[in-house]
């Protein structure tokens, strides 16, 4: 998984803490965690395409959350950044080579792909069951002063 | 995830169907599914390092299963091929930049990493709960004649 997922998740939390009214540039969001701005901008554009953030143009432009954190799951963000493909990709090697049988043999999903798919489903279910608001609440319990420190820094930007 | 996981899983099933007594070369295992032999050999070496298969040298050498399929889980094979690292790697960006707080703030795991880790744990649990013997049984229900076809081909090799 690319580091873009980590960046995107933290950026969504940061946008929530900054507040819903304000758009923030990729450069400012990147500076807050010393990330490369151009790469973070690409991730934010991917979040915009997925409807998680909104890209606002103009002198006060930038990015803001498109919806509340309790309506954004970890699955939404992972899919926006990594794409919808399964991690395990069955290339149907059972149908290749001298052991290949009659095409009707392959009507049912390959048992290997099915087993790997069940594990991936468990992962996706857990990602879909957790919203960014759940994560925000835990983050605030751990570091109660962090949101205020963040707001001050972005206010002085 | 690399295609090596798919190759490794199928190769373990094929070794089980061939039978426990016989070592088979990477070239033969590769030919059975038209895979690139040198790349498959690397995956089989990784399985050998993980104790899933045994590498046998000599003129009748090759690979054979090191233990029965019901003692090999999907997790064993995925870890052997992909390594033990988590798919989501937390790089602790919360500690970088102007928002970074006092080091004691970071005693607890990052809430983002924790949430992603719970999903990964669900995936690993499901991989660990399924043995290759479970997969073999389902594969044989789907294609009852495939093991015999495989044995004939490897016997004539």
Alpha-carbon dihedral of residues B97, B100, B106, B110, nearest 10 degrees?
Answer: -60
Does the beta-carbon distance from A153 to B123 stay under 8 Å?
A: no
CA distance A143 to A9: 17
As beta bridge partners, residue A54 has: A64
Q: What share of chain A is helix, strand, coil (3-state, %, to 5)?
A: 60, 5, 35
Contact of A70 with chain B, judged by CB distance below 8 Å, is answered with no
Full residue range of the structural domain in which residue B137 is found? 3-155
H-helix segments, B56-98: 74-82
- How far is the CA of B129 from the CAs of A18, B68, B73, B132, B156, in angstroms? 43, 16, 7, 10, 36
Residue B60: Cβ within 10 Å count: 10
Specify the 3-state DSSP secondary structure of A91.
Answer: coil
Pick the most confident of A104-108, B40-44, B102-106.
B40-44
Q: For A97-146, how does the pLDDT look when each residue is reduced to its tens digit (9 = 90+)?
A: 998 888 888 888 999 999 999 999 999 999 999 999 999 999 999 889 89
Among B77, B110, B116, the residue to mutate for chain A (most A Cβ within 10 A): B116
ipTM of the complex: 0.92
Is A157's pLDDT higher than 70?
Answer: no
Among B119, B131, B135, the residue to mutate for chain A (most A Cβ within 10 A): B119
Task: State the pLDDT at residue A20.
Answer: 86
The H or E element containing residue A9 is: helix A4-18
CA distance A87 to A120: 8
CA distance B109 to A48: 28
Mean pLDDT (whole number) for B44-56: 98
For chain B, what percent of residues have pLDDT higher than 90? 81
Q: For B126-154, how does the pLDDT look when each residue is reduced to its tens digit (9 = 90+)?
A: 999 999 999 999 999 988 989 999 999 99
Does the beta-carbon distance from B89 to A6 stay under 8 Å?
A: yes
Chain B residue with minimal CA distance to A129?
Answer: B119
Task: State the pLDDT at residue B12.
Answer: 98
pTM, full prediction? 0.91
Using an 8 Å CB-CB cutoff, list chain B residues near A97: 31-34
Using an 8 Å CB-CB cutoff, list chain A residues near B101: 143, 145-146, 149
Those residues whose C-beta lies under 8 Å from the C-beta of residue A48, and which sit 6 or more positions away, are A54, A55, A63, A66
Q: Please report how the helices B111-129 and A111-129 are oriented relative to each other, as an axis angle in degrees rounded to 10.
A: 150
Is B157's pLDDT higher than 80?
Answer: no
Contact of B88 with chain A, judged by CB distance below 8 Å, is answered with yes
- How far is the CA of B156 from the CAs of B18, B56, B150, B151, B152, in angstroms? 12, 20, 10, 9, 6
In CATH, what number is assigned to the domain containing residue B68?
Answer: 1.10.10.10
Mean pLDDT (whole number) for B66-81: 98
Q: Which of A34, A74, A98 sits opposite B116 (nearest CB)?
A: A74
Mean pLDDT (whole number) for A7-24: 95
> Beta A62-65 vs A53-56: how paired, if at all?
antiparallel
Structural domains counted in chain A:
1
Mean pLDDT (whole number) for A35-47: 97
Task: State the pLDDT at residue A102.
Answer: 82
pLDDT band at A2 (very low <50, low <70, confident <90, very high): confident
């Amino acid at each position: 998984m690319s580091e873009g997922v980590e960046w995107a998740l933290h950026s969504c939390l940061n946008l929530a803490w900054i507040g819903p009214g304000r758009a923030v540039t990729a450069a400012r969001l990147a500076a807050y965690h010393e990330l490369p701005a151009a790469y973070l901008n690409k991730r934010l554009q991917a979040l915009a395409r997925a409807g998680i953030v909104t890209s606002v143009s103009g002198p006060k432009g930038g990015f803001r959350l498109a919806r509340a954190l309790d309506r954004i799951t970890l699955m939404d963000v992972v899919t926006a950044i990594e794409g919808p493909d399964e991690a395990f990709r069955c290339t149907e090697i059972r149908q290749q080579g001298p052991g290949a049988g009659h095409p009707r043999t392959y009507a049912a999903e390959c048992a290997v792909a099915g087993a790997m798919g069940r594990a991936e489903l468990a992962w996706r279910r857990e990602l879909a069951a957790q919203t960014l608001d759940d994560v925000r609440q835990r983050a605030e319990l751990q570091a109660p002063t962090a949101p205020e420190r963040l707001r001050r820094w972005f206010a002085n930007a």
